Structure 1
Amino acid sequence: MCSSSWSRLDFTESVTVVAGGKIGQKKRFTVYKYIITAHPEFFRAACNGGFEEAKDKIVRLPEVEPETFGCLLHWIYTGHIVVMNEEDIDATERQAPSLRYVALVELYALADKYGEPRLRNATIDQIIELADTTEIFPGTGVVDIACNKTSRRSNLRKVLADYYNACAELEWLLDHQDELAAEFYFEMAMRMKEGINDSPNVNNKCRYHEHNDDVPKCS
């Protein structure tokens, strides 16, 4: 017997999302409305009349890079994060994954803005797994993006602060002190005060996760 609690998904109604604000860099995405409304709070409002764009079924995101929105959309559809295709990762990026770190931090910032704790957790997992695989923690440019685009005491900042506390030598920190924001040094100090002195890794990644009624604790 079929359960009456299930409804057939509607593939007939879609929304056009225009990401990017610069001429020549805008990109249009056609998205099924039911998928969008089931996820980020912004889109739920946009598609249900909370924004003027909803009347024309067009949502404009001029402040969001098309590549970052594409990563968000890929995660919404598949549940997996892909910031770079395997064939696009050259030898330099494979050795020092700066582009992938930047893309992951941008994705976390987008998930932070749209209220997606599951995506924030998944993005942190990807950052930790990437650091474990390459044995290179995120550089100062990545930290700068995180400080500019995420809130204080965000879990992303905690991850980065723990890497620098555990992995960066004092001499290196002194040589690069002008490259790190004062608020990041504050985060590093807070983490040490909280008794966290080990590096993030795949075995302790759950301590950087957010959990609530919709996001159960890790098993």
Structure 2
Amino acid sequence: MATPTSVQDTRPTKRLKIDYGHEVSVLVGDTGQRFVVHKDVLCTNSPFFQAACSKNWREGREKVIRLPDHAPIAFSMYVDWRYQGVVDLWQGDENQRTVRRDTQGNERAAGGLRFDRLIDSYILGDMLQDHKFCNVLIDACFDLIEETLQIPHYGNINRIFNTSPETSKLRQLLVHTMAFASKPET
């Protein structure tokens, strides 16, 4: 069974000129996993990072930004997307793919782990105010729903509702998807 493993942002973008001499350490999660990323890569689409990297803030002067409330895998996916333009919802778990059978007995890839990562990444992208990243994740959500014929489990839906504003596009998508999925067939 062939299943897509990543979503690529195919929209044309201006080439980013990276100043390779300016790096920032980002400490992610409760363990403070360290990521060293070029400042230009972080600041291009994110007002959060633009402010955090400013000399007006301690983080900008120290070149260390802490994101203790976010999942390291989500930040890893964000960095990969910023550098490569690809969101890989399997990232490192190629051998852990699970398969389920739909009501007709056809094999489908299960979406659980990928939905978890998608939600974690969207929450991160929303906090970073990187709308391009969030839009790519919305596209990935559509693809994942279509591929698995599943929607995120209620725990993930609750996380989105508890951590995002009412205007959140993913929140709106999940409400519409749930409403459509629960509509009786006519």
Same fold (TM over 0.5): yes
The structure with higher relative contact order (CA 8 Å, sep 6+) is: 2
| Structure 1 segment 154-165 matched on structure 2, within 5 A | 154-165=168-179
Q: Distance in 2 between matches of 1:76 and 1:31?
A: 10
Number of corresponding residues: 162
Point out where structure 1 has 5 or more consecutive residues left out of the alignment.
1-5, 171-219
Letter in 1 for 2:94: E
Q: Secondary structure at the match of 1:81?
A: strand
Cα contact 1:39–1:76 (8 A) shared by 2:
no
Matched, 1:37 2:43: yes
Q: Distance in 2 between matches of 1:125 and 1:7?
A: 23
More strand by share: 2
Letter in 2 for 1:135: L
TM-score for the superposition, normalised by structure 1: 0.67
Q: Distance in 1 between matches of 2:72 and 2:123?
A: 14
| Structure 1 segment 168-179 matched on structure 2, within 5 A | 168=182
Moved more, 65-74 or 77-86: 77-86
| Structure 1 segment 40-119 matched on structure 2, within 5 A | 40-85=46-91, 87-92=94-99, 95-119=109-133
Cα contact 2:18–2:38 (8 A) shared by 1:
no
In our comparison, the structure showing a higher alpha carbon Rg is 1
Q: Secondary structure at the match of 2:88?
A: coil
Distance 1:92 1:149, change over 3 A: farther
CA deviation profile, 1:87-139 (whole Å, cap 9, x unmatched) = 14422586321111121112111111111111111101001101111111222
TM-score for the superposition, normalised by structure 2: 0.78
Out of 28, 36, 56, the residue aligned to residue 34 of structure 2 is 28
Q: Distance in 2 between matches of 1:7 and 1:92?
A: 39
Point out where structure 2 has 5 or more consecutive residues left out of the alignment.
1-14, 101-107
When the two chains are superposed, the root-mean-square deviation of aligned CA atoms in Å is 2.2
Question: Could you tell me the percent identity over the aligned residues?
Answer: 27
**Residue 70 of structure 1, CA deviation:** 1.0
